[in-house]
Amino acid sequence: MSLKATILIIDDERIALKNLSYFLEKEGYQVISFQSPQKALKYLETSEPDLVITDLKMPDISGLQLLKKTKELHPLTEVIVITGYATINTAVAAMKEGAYYYLEKPYKLEKIRKIVQEALLKRHLVLENQRLKQELKENTVLQQIKGESPEIKKVISIIKQVANSNSNVLITGESGTGKELVAKAIHALSPRNNKPFVAFNCGALTEELIANELFGHESGAFTGATSVKKGLIEMANQGTLFLDEIGDMPISQQIKILRVIQEKEILRVGGTKPIKIDVRFIAATHKNLRQETNQGNFRQDLFYRLNVISINLPALRERKEDIPLLANYFLVKKSQEQGKNIQGFSVQAMYLLRQYSWPGNIRELENVIERAVTLNTSGIISKNDLPDYINSIDITVYNNASQEIPSLEEIEKRYISWILEKCNFNKTKAAKIIGIDRVSLWRKLKKYNLNPKPKEE
């Protein structure tokens, strides 16, 4: 325990205040003293001492009032109440308000020395316990974000830095890179962790349904609205709202979200009375929002409001050194789920996993490992347990007639075309194999100008 602990002393008797301050300073503590309890309260509003020693009877503000206010502002600060007018009732009242000790005047210096040491030791132990709990929580939460690459270590470092703040966060990265996992980690490590984490996909619904889901509605707001419904923003009050794929949100709803962030209030559909809310916003997108704002597809003012802190998640192909770690993690997970005892990967199977470009990122890798575990009968994942498109990677991806090295976009375009052909152009099946949803597949088809023939029913 450090002798540099800060002790705040309040006593309207100047001599008593001076003597106690002098004694504790000689003991090695940093002492702040006030004759005025009002000035002491102003100090407490901006500073957190380790210990408060206050007289009980003072003009305007009593020691009990000051004790109560201290505990409201700084629950872990210990308080010793000193009085020359000791009664059982005041002693009981002081202990009920959270006083560490109730000391009668006159007191011996040896006794005050002992009580101060014990009070500071208690605070030290409580703070150390909190620190260890936070460290354990951090380790538990962040262990879910697998990777040892510099890119992932940077992401984890930013998560630790921003978790305790109240700033909005924008997470960018391709589909399947783990954006929601990062959002959940930020929430779990934040002071809001015991409040709701509410997630909403902005690109999955129509404008009217988005408004109804996010803002809720009043009874009679429209046909079928027979009762009041709380929206997701209201449900996330004091917690975190995760807006996934914010780049797909219609402009009309972007305006409403901007107003919520600015005014810290919502208006239900059909409502006339604003409702105050306290929500931290974390948004995610696979799009380049800066580019989207330049093209008029996304509001610049909302972009700036959300992009207070940005976290970019690298694609799996950009951190291939993490593939063995992720593959083994999913192997253990899927083996346990299926009640199998699979020991690992053959050298050839791991080589193929590392060579593949993973357009579906971590989600696709997890799907591939689940498939391999399901099909495996030998106890070791071999190349034969992997899908054909990974088995034939050397031919279908890297070997080409021109002998030129293809770009990653060209590899992805060929890969998607090849998967669609193998699936008889069934987009639902193709999306599942790739490890992305149908909306993401549709975007890629549009991006690469691919027009596969529809599956005949």
Spatial distance between the Cα atoms of 61 and 69, rounded to a whole number of angstroms: 11
Q: Which residues contact 372 (CB under 8 A, 6 or more apart)?
A: 349, 381, 385, 386
CA distances (Å), origin 430, targets 151, 195, 384, 418, 426:
29, 38, 20, 10, 6
pLDDT score at 456: 47
144-314, which class in CATH? Answer: alpha beta
Q: Where is 150: in which H helix or E strand?
A: helix 150-163
- The two structure tokens encoding residue 202: 């902005």
Residues above pLDDT 90, as percent of the chain: 48
For the beta sheet containing 240-244, the strands, ordered from the edge strand earlier in sequence to the opposite edge, are 197-201, 240-244, 280-285, 169-172, 309-312
Q: Where is 136: in which H helix or E strand?
A: helix 109-142
CA distances (Å), origin 247, targets 62, 68, 85, 251:
56, 48, 67, 10
Give the gyration radius of the chain's Cα atoms. 31
Is the model more confident about 216 or about 453? 216
Q: If you average pLDDT over residues 70-83, what whole number do you get?
A: 90
Closest alpha carbon to 165 in 312, 282, 275: 282
6-130, which class in CATH? Answer: alpha beta
DSSP characters over 400-425? -TT-PPPPHHHHHHHHHHHHHHHTTT
pLDDT score at 229: 86
Closest alpha carbon to 443 in 360, 357, 319, 356: 360
Instruction: Among 84-88, 209-213, 304-308, 332-336, name the one with the lowest average pLDDT.
Output: 84-88
Q: How confident is the model at residue 236 (pLDDT cuts 50, 70, 90)?
A: very high
Residues 422-432 have pLDDT tens digits of 777 888 878 87
Q: Where in the chain is the domain with CATH 3.40.50.300?
A: 144-314
Q: What is the CATH code of the structural domain delimited by 317-447?
A: 1.10.8.60
Helix (H, G, I), strand (E, B) or coil at 172: strand
Residues above pLDDT 70, as percent of the chain: 91
Cross-strand bridge partners of residue 53? 9, 80
Please identify which residue in the block is written with the tokens 């090849």.
418
Residue type, 254: Q
- The two structure tokens encoding residue 38: 């009002």
Residues 389-422 have pLDDT tens digits of 888 765 444 344 444 556 667 777 877 888 887 7
DSSP characters over 261-300? HHHSEE--BT--S-EE---EEEEEESS-HHHHHHTTSS-H
Q: Where in the chain is the domain with CATH 1.10.8.60?
A: 317-447
